[in-house]
Structure 1
Amino acid sequence: MAKVKTQFLCSECGYVSPKFLGRCPNCGRWNTLVEERISEPKNERKSRVSFEGKSSKPQLISEVKMHEEPRVKTGMEELNRVLGGGVVDGSLVLIGGDPGIGKSTLLLQLSGQLAATDRDVLYVSGEESASQIKMRAERLQVNSERFYLYPETDMSNIRAVIEELHPQYVIIDSVQTMQEPDIDSAVGSVSQIREITAELMQIAKTNNITILLLVM
């Protein structure tokens, strides 16, 4: 049985209050707190940050063992430079920028480049159909037998497909269009984005999958 919690979320800054307030104490805006109900299943989502399935312990910095993380070249030199030399397995990368500057086009090109390295790429789109994405891909000459398109917004379905396909790379376009069914709030709300991002981070770490998350 799911436990339901009611809270009030500021639509401007994301401040959370257990009760309604006319004025947000964090950003000072009036009438911005919106009621939302969060359904939290018992015995689930208990350890978002324990990626290895066990509790972590504090370590002295002098005792931490270092190892060089291998990086995969993206085929885009400027992007490699921004990412410190390439993408790291098991990482979550946020891709942001002003509307209309070509973020989706960049990720589509990147998907083709990564698929060309003989690794499976799953491109999840919340706005376009598979045929629409393929039309754009053909214009960009992006094509590969390792490149999968998946038009979907429900995170429970996306989780299931990732578990079934086991891709090395997952592209989410975009986080604002995704929905976590257990969170009773609007798509694109702060609560939805926070929960989905935390869940994708856990998926990336536990499965050693690189996830590139587009933020509008």
Structure 2
Amino acid sequence: MLQQLFSPSVQHTLDVIGIFVFAISGALMGVRKNFDVFGIAVLAEVTALGGGLFRDLIIGAVPPAAFTDLGYFITPLLAALMVVFLHPHVERIQVAVNVFDAAGLGLFCVAGTIKAYEYGLGLTQSATLGLATAVGGGVLRDVLANEVPSLLRWDRDLYAVPAIVGSTMAVLCLRYDVLTPVTSGLAVVTAFVLRLLAMKYHWRAPRAWNRRSTVREE
């Protein structure tokens, strides 16, 4: 189905772009944590490929694409190498990195949903794996860097919600048999725009109602 929506070359190019941008965010985390070159490379690889690896293992698409396509494996290393030498300049274009990260979020949540559905999962399960594809690498990055995952922090702009919306739109298109390059592209763009708006206006998920906790906030 993915091949019917996009040509293999277009799909591969989109995947590599998304992987590259996610890898940059992982490598920058390594720099901020004062990791060595190996640690920076590990965070870049995990951030870029973690979500897709998790999805492929769950649906039985083995060996995962990250281990059969050398480009998928090499791209995060190139991103890490760039950050090692140019991280002050990369930090200065953090806004641009965030924009591309939002684009990768939209692309991966929709592509992950469709791939899971292709492997026989139900609509709800496919949407869940689409979400995991988009955010799984970031969660692994934060855990390895000894951080509370951004996904779970109330003081971070919405990240999972845009991916949930994109995945939901994809499964609705599958449910009603209207999945086309246009409708799948609309799902990607919707997730992308929601993430950009969340960053611009600092939209955040609500916390517990009438919260009276005495636990110190981190």
User: What TM-score comes out, normalization by structure 2 length?
Assistant: 0.29
Task: Give 1 or 2 for the bigger CA radius of gyration.
Answer: 1
User: What TM-score comes out, normalization by structure 1 length?
Assistant: 0.29
**Per residue, is there more helix in 1 or in 2?**
2
**Per residue, is there more strand in 1 or in 2?**
1
